[in-house]
Amino acid sequence: MNTTKIKAFGTQAAENDLELLTIERREVQPKDIEIDIYYCGVCHSDLHTARNDWGGTVYPAVPGHEIVGKVLQVGSDVTKFKVGDLVAVGCMVDSCRTCHSCEQDLEQFCENGFTGTYNGKDKYFKETRTFGGYSESVVVDEHFVLSLPENLDMAAAAPLLCAGITTWSPLKHWNVTENSKVAVVGLGGLGHMAIKLAKGLGAEVTLFSRTPGKTDDAKQLGADHVVISTDEDQMKSVFNKFDLIIDTVPYEHDINPYMNTLTLDGTLVLVGLIGEFENNAVSTRPMIYKRRSVAGSLIGGIKETQEMLDFCGEKNIVSDIEIINIQDINNAYERMLKSDVKYRFVIDMKSLKN
């Protein structure tokens, strides 16, 4: 199979900064689409992969799975897209398509493992891993390419492909409507999207915060209430209130204080933490006496992601972003670790092409 060399930003080792690299993309196959990348969001997963925080990173690694751009070329069997279309690519670029999960449009739970947009097992080049969106272009099977509503700001829409779908999927799975009461733990890239999307669905939305400093920001994003989780009286005031809590905190923390704020059959969904609760055991008492649940959720399938993008187009929902040049990515990573961004960095990929 022929390949094309393009520019990208990636790293050769966990301890190295990201730098300019040359990578190879496959030639367009019959069901493929080649995309000229305009913008790429910056996700915590990018940093964790680049630095091998979760283990398993194969180098060189090129992150980026919040991709928006325009179609440059389509394969001979492509039916969904044409040259010039606005498109997007999220966290997956392939799956087995035949297992029970894939047949239910839940490719993120593919029983044979989905192919990640970066650091995934490339079915065409077994000896290498997939390279992500910190690059000039990408070639993706049309099944995993999404239509981007034309009214959305392209840069601000990029984080919808991960932060958006990660919070949209539990909102839809747990049937959030205008009659629902939803709480969000953590106001960052995921949390601010959870507030916007839950409010877009008509829910009454509350932010849990450890300090009062985020109250104004939360309400500007659409939150109806802010509850200071360290204030005992405020926590008592929301006893038995919430149908759904979306917990976006990416590090170990104590979820027990939130459990009593769930109503009967309420659910707390973890979307931020990947790992163990080593020092904070979850008490079963509030679960047993009110049939409450603790659950997890992972991005969303392709059908669900397209539904989310269409909904955002109807409601004009996008992320709050700060646009950077690719040459500033290492500084952006350090700022992201300090939560010094409101609320997502997005790379203008012209900076790489120029």
Give 272-304 pLDDT, tens digit per residue.
987 777 777 889 999 999 999 999 999 999 999
- Would you state the structure tokens that stand for residue 324, as one six-digit string? 């950077």
| % of the chain residues with pLDDT over 70 | 100
Would strands 146-147 and 225-228 be described as parallel, antiparallel, or unpaired?
unpaired
Q: What is the dihedral of CA 165, 171, 175, 179, to 10 degrees?
A: -140
Position 337 scores a pLDDT of 92
pLDDT at 28 > cutoff 80: yes
Position 277 scores a pLDDT of 76
pLDDT at 67 > cutoff 90: yes
Position 344 scores a pLDDT of 96
Question: Which region holds residue 207: left if phi is over 0, alpha if psi is between -120 and 50, else beta?
Answer: beta
Q: For residue 22, what are the β-bridge partners? A: 7
Question: 73, 83 in Cβ contact below 8 A?
Answer: yes
Element (H, E) at 164: helix 163-173
3-state secondary structure of 195: helix
Question: Which region holds residue 186: left if phi is over 0, alpha if psi is between -120 and 50, else beta?
Answer: left
Q: How far apart are CA 334 and CA 339, in angstroms?
A: 9
pLDDT at 98 > cutoff 80: yes
3-state secondary structure of 137: strand
Q: How far apart are CA 78 and CA 71, in angstroms?
A: 12
Residues written for the chain: 354
In angstroms, the first-to-last Cα distance of the chain is: 28
Question: 257, 235 in Cβ contact below 8 A?
Answer: yes
CA 289 → CA 215, 259, 264, 293, distances in Å? 32, 11, 9, 11
Position 142 scores a pLDDT of 97
Tell me the residue type at 259: M
At CA 345, angle to CA 152 and CA 204, rounded to 5?
Answer: 60
Position 76 scores a pLDDT of 97
Q: How far apart are CA 74 and CA 292, in angstroms?
A: 48
Q: How far apart are CA 346 and CA 146, in angstroms?
A: 18
Q: How far apart are CA 254 and CA 28, in angstroms?
A: 48
Position 128 scores a pLDDT of 82
Contacts of 231 (CB under 8 A, 6+ apart): none
Q: What average pLDDT score do residues 214-233 get?
A: 95
Average the pLDDT over each of 120-129, 136-145, 150-159, 261-270 and give the range with the smallest value: 120-129
Question: 78, 142 in Cβ contact below 8 A?
Answer: yes
Question: 163, 90 in Cβ contact below 8 A?
Answer: no
